[in-house]
């Protein structure tokens, strides 16, 4: 009888040990499967900025190594999701000696597409001083798309333009700084005045 009890006790302990080992094995297998599943799933893209630069000044070079334009500002923040840059108080100067100089300022900006597009927002002002071949140019708007590689500015917002002694207002604009071609698309009104140089030339005729 005693041997029988011992046998039952031994079998019970053996079953208990096997049950514990089975439970531990199942837990380990679940952990491994869970880890493999996590490793195989794509990691969520980082949405917050990954770095920033205060009081920066960046010069964009041409393929020939000549300075094309520079962008400065109070703060530049990089967004890894779309590889764009947010800029606080951007200031842009064109540096291409073969094109009329242009200076732009705004409250904020966004640079994208490998620096080929610059969006300017809030109190946007663009100035081109008078040159021997062109009158002074001033533009004011709340939004401007700058395409620095093409020396083109575009806007779908109302714009105020001063060109020499003339003033123009309209909604929607395309301006090529290289060719000095200006297009206004709607609600256009303005006052056209000849510069003294042009007036003098007309008087001689």
Phi-psi group of 95: left, alpha or beta (phi > 0 → left; psi -120 to 50 → alpha; rest → beta): alpha
Same domain, 31 and 101: no
102 and 94 Cβ atoms separated by less than 8 Å = yes
Q: Answer with the residue of higher pLDDT: 53 or 19.
A: 53
Residue 204 has pLDDT above 50, yes or no: no
Band of the pLDDT at 87, cuts 50, 70, 90? Answer: very high
Residue located via tokens 């890894």 = 80
CB atoms within 10 A of CB 126: 23
Same domain, 116 and 32: no
69 and 93 Cβ atoms separated by less than 8 Å = yes
Q: Answer with the residue of higher pLDDT: 171 or 197.
A: 171
Predicted local confidence at residue 98, as pLDDT = 75
Same domain, 32 and 108: no
Same domain, 118 and 188: yes
Predicted local confidence at residue 131, as pLDDT = 80
CATH number for the domain harbouring residue 135: 2.60.450.10
Q: What predicted TM-score, i.e. pTM, was given to this entire model?
A: 0.71
Within the chain, residue ranges assigned H as helices are: 2-40, 196-204
Tell me the residue range of the domain where 152 lies: 51-203
The total number of structural domains that make up the chain: 2
**Can you list the positions of beta strands (E) in the chain?**
51-61, 67-79, 84-88, 91-94, 103-105, 108-112, 117-128, 137-147, 152-163, 166-176, 181-191
Same domain, 87 and 186: yes
120-150 per-position pLDDT tens digit: 999 999 998 888 877 888 999 999 999 988 8
DSSP annotation of 202: H
Predicted local confidence at residue 202, as pLDDT = 41
Same domain, 38 and 67: no
Q: What percent of the chain has pLDDT over 90?
A: 37
């Amino acid at each position: 009888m005693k041997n029988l009890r011992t046998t039952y006790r031994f079998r019970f302990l053996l079953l208990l040990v096997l049950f514990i080992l089975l439970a531990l094995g199942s837990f380990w297998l679940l952990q491994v499967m869970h880890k493999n599943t996590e490793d195989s799933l794509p990691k969520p893209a980082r949405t917050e900025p990954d770095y920033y630069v205060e009081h920066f000044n960046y010069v964009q070079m041409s393929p020939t190594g000549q300075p094309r334009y520079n962008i400065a500002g109070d703060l530049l923040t990089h967004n890894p999701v779309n590889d764009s840059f947010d800029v606080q108080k951007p200031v842009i100067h064109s540096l291409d000696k073969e094109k009329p100089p242009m200076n732009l300022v705004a409250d904020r900006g966004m640079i994208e597409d490998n620096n080929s597009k610059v969006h300017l927002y809030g109190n946007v002002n663009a100035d081109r001083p008078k040159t021997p071949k062109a009158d002074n140019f001033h533009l004011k708007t709340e939004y401007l798309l700058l395409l620095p590689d093409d020396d083109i500015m575009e806007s779908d917002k109302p714009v105020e333009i001063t060109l020499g002694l003339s003033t123009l207002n309209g909604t929607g604009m395309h301006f090529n700084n290289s060719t000095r071609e200006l297009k206004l698309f709607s609600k256009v009104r303005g006052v056209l005045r000849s510069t003294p140089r042009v007036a003098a030339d007309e008087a001689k005729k």
